[in-house]
Amino acid sequence: MGFLDSLKGKKQELEGKKKEDEAAVAEGKYTEACSLCGGTGTEKKWMGQYWHKKCIRVAKRVGKKMI
């Protein structure tokens, strides 16, 4: 999967993520939507935006590769 595919997400993968995100709503610290995937139940606030822990790891890893 390419870089843009991971940011945009495929329709089939988004449906699977929605099911996972519904379970994460109860576990999340915040009820705001994630900046990367758009799911609710976020755990971290970073750079003024709300993120899932796995999404923030992906964003940081991609950012490191750009430098």
7-15 mean pLDDT: 57
pLDDT above 70: percentage of residues in the chain: 61
1 vs 47 pLDDT, higher one: 47
Write the pLDDT tens digit of every residue in 37-53.
Answer: 988 889 999 889 999 99
Measured between alpha carbons, how far is 60 from 13 in angstroms, rounded to an integer?
A: 21
Is residue 45 within a helix (H) or strand (E), and if so which, with residue range?
strand 44-46
The residue ranking higher by pLDDT, 32 or 16, is 32
Q: Residue 5 above 90 pLDDT?
A: no
Q: 59 or 23: whose pLDDT is higher?
A: 59
Distance of CA 3 to CAs 8, 9, 27, Å? Answer: 9, 10, 28
